[in-house]
Structure 1
Amino acid sequence: MTSSTLSVGWYGLGSMGLGMSLNLQKYLLSNNLSPLRYSNRTLSKGDRLRDEGAIPEEKFEDVVQNSDVIFTMISNDDVLKELINKALVAGDSLKGKIFVDTSTIHPETSEWATSRLSKHGAAFVAAPVFGASPVAAAGKLIFAVAGPAMAVETIKSLIMNVMGRSIIDMGEDVRKSSLLKISGNILVISFMEVIGEAQVFAEVTGLGNQQLEEFIGNMFGPVLESYSKRITTGAYAPPLDTSPGFAAALASKDMNHALSIAASHSTRLPTLETASHRLMSAREYAASD
């Protein structure tokens, strides 16, 4: 199986998955490769993909049957387990297929997927991504990739300069990719927490949010400045009738993974604990996930 003969499938068309899959379909089309086959819980979310020449499939099992490489970008661990179980009980051969999950999942889930799929001759690659939905749409994500060496090598051409700007090679232990992704989320969420606290301080003291934001950009660079702008412009907490770029429920899931893993190693993450409590309060206020 080479990159020039691969048939590729996709499941999961949320704010991240749609941008990623669109970039992948454009790559396949421009290289005269078989079009992307895709599915989603709400299939109509893939209408833009269909318009770009991708082929919709009613069920995930159909995507698996017609693809050599199957990418998933899903909301939580339970969804991934459900999808893999569907593939396993469908009765079709999975030998030689590569399943690539780009979501944030628990290391134990990655290990579980590897164990289940390898018994059927398939490979599992954990490839969580770093970057928000605009970064996904621009094809500039960072991938943390772990899995069997041959499988990883096979999928690199579908990632580099297609969906991502770089790949961090985490070796063959799929738990390591999940751990790196969760570690990265600890940083991002903690940055948001401390920047939020500083901006509240600037507001109540009369210092001014704009001046602090300018300092953050000059001192710490554009990434942390962009985090600050999400807070001060209201993008981080949009109006109650507006969908967020990243659902609070997903952020809570990511934090719970980090907190549970830390607890299992007899350590604590105090900043993350604080951020988690604040996010729970926000979800209660919005009466929404």
Structure 2
Amino acid sequence: MGFFMARNLAKNRPQSVTPLPPTLVWNRTKSRAEDLVKEVGDDKAQIAKDPEEVARECDIIFTNLANDDVVKEIYLRFAQALEVGTTIVYIQESLCHMRDPQDSPSLKPKIFVETSTVYPTLAGELDTLIAAHNARLVMAPVFGAPPAADAAQLLVVMAGDYRSKKEVANILIPAVGRKVIDLGGNLEKAPTFKLIGNSLILGSLEILAESFTLGEKSGISAELVQTLVKDLMPTPILVNYGEKMVHDLFDGSKGFAIDGGIKDATHIRRLTTELNSPMPALDTAHQHLLTARALHAAARDRGEQVFETLDWSSLVAGTRVAAGLDGFDSGKVCVPRHVSYASA
């Protein structure tokens, strides 16, 4: 996801009278950043040596990271880099007094844009980390699978300072996304909204998985049930994830990896607990995700795993196993000889 977003930002930068410098990119796996620069050219993107360089050199910093712990780790590094930068600027201004410090480009407020899916209360922690360093935070999680990110069709949710949101929106639309939903100034609202959205997706996956499994158990193929999905509920999410389940296309490198799905489900369940708002479908989906991951780990131990990592649509393995079927191989479905119905 982050790769496509960064690539599209680099390729479709806002128009400016003064030519903009290349987009500065950083990834834990350096080869990914190298691939991006190779694709767009070094006139549009350059590789930062570390997150600290990004924080010091850039006016607007976008982050898209795996989980809450990684997000907080990176923002701690940002804050430490800004602390050093602030000290240097103070010393320089004290020595020269050649211009009003407020006119110094180095004192222009930076904007940090967090696009990951995180627990809402983390927003306040991140804001506290950077607010002391003349920086503003915009929480801007995105909806859309990697293909949507590739096509710059993401749905962006924003919360934070109004002027900062406007500036960020002008950069992201249409370079990265198709639409912005503004949740106001409360930073926690955007990640909360993202979790609500993911609960809709994950709950739908659970219903799909259960329906396909019921079809297989009753002697009606999952392929036939999928045709019903296409006719009755032809939404891209249901159709696309239905295809993955029906054809055992559980490659997490081409979709949403199961660890991310479990993280999101855990966040949603925590939120429902705190707000006394039960979501039993999410409880079940969470258990089926754990079952799928456990089955995959056991297959890896035997050297029999098909994919390096699973897509979260593999939760269908949980419903299949619960029904006595093979978790990852729909070809092993045992079709009953007959189905009888009794009526009073």
TM-score of the pair, normalised by structure 1 = 0.89
**Deviations, residues 198-225 of structure 1 (Å, cap 9, x unaligned):** 0111112122222221221121123222
Per the alignment, residue 241 of structure 2 pairs with 227
Distance 1:167 1:82 in 2: 27
Q: Is the 8 A contact 2:112 2:136 kept in 1?
A: yes
Which of these residues, 276, 279, 284, is aligned with residue 289 of structure 2? 279
Which of these residues, 198, 211, 219, is aligned with residue 211 of structure 2? 198
Range 135-144 or range 199-208, more displaced:
199-208
Per the alignment, residue 23 of structure 1 pairs with 8
Q: Is the 8 A contact 1:28 1:35 kept in 2?
A: no
Distance 2:214 2:78 in 1: 52
Q: Is the 8 A contact 1:43 1:58 kept in 2?
A: no
| Alpha-carbon distance, 1:192 to partner | 0.4
Q: Is the 8 A contact 1:145 1:170 kept in 2?
A: yes
Q: Is the 8 A contact 1:190 1:272 kept in 2?
A: yes
Instruction: Please list, as runs of the form range in 1=range in 2, the aligned pairs for 1:1-289 lying within 5 A after superposition.
Output: 16-28=1-13, 32-51=19-38, 52=40, 53=42, 54-90=45-81, 91-93=84-86, 96-223=109-236, 224-235=238-249, 237-238=250-251, 243=253, 245-287=255-297
**Deviations, residues 105-146 of structure 1 (Å, cap 9, x unaligned):** 111001211222222221011000000011101100000011
Distance 1:234 1:211 in 2: 15
Q: Is the 8 A contact 1:76 1:104 kept in 2?
A: yes
Q: Is the 8 A contact 2:146 2:254 kept in 1?
A: no
Identity over the aligned pairs, expressed in percent? 31
Letter in 2 for 1:50: V
Distance 2:30 2:138 in 1: 25
Distance 1:23 1:168 in 2: 20
Q: Is the 8 A contact 1:117 1:123 kept in 2?
A: yes
Q: Is the 8 A contact 2:110 2:135 kept in 1?
A: yes
Counterpart secondary structure, 2:121: helix
Letter in 1 for 2:28: R
**Higher Cα Rg, which structure:** 2
Distance 1:76 1:86 in 2: 16
Distance 1:58 1:139 in 2: 27
Q: 1:45 to 1:30 in 2, by over 3 A?
A: farther
TM-score of the pair, normalised by structure 2 = 0.75
Instruction: Kindly tell me the number of residue pairs found equivalent between the two proteins.
Output: 270
Runs of at least 4 residues of structure 1 off by over 3 A? 29-32
Counterpart secondary structure, 1:107: coil
Q: Which runs of 5+ in 1 are unaligned?
A: 1-15
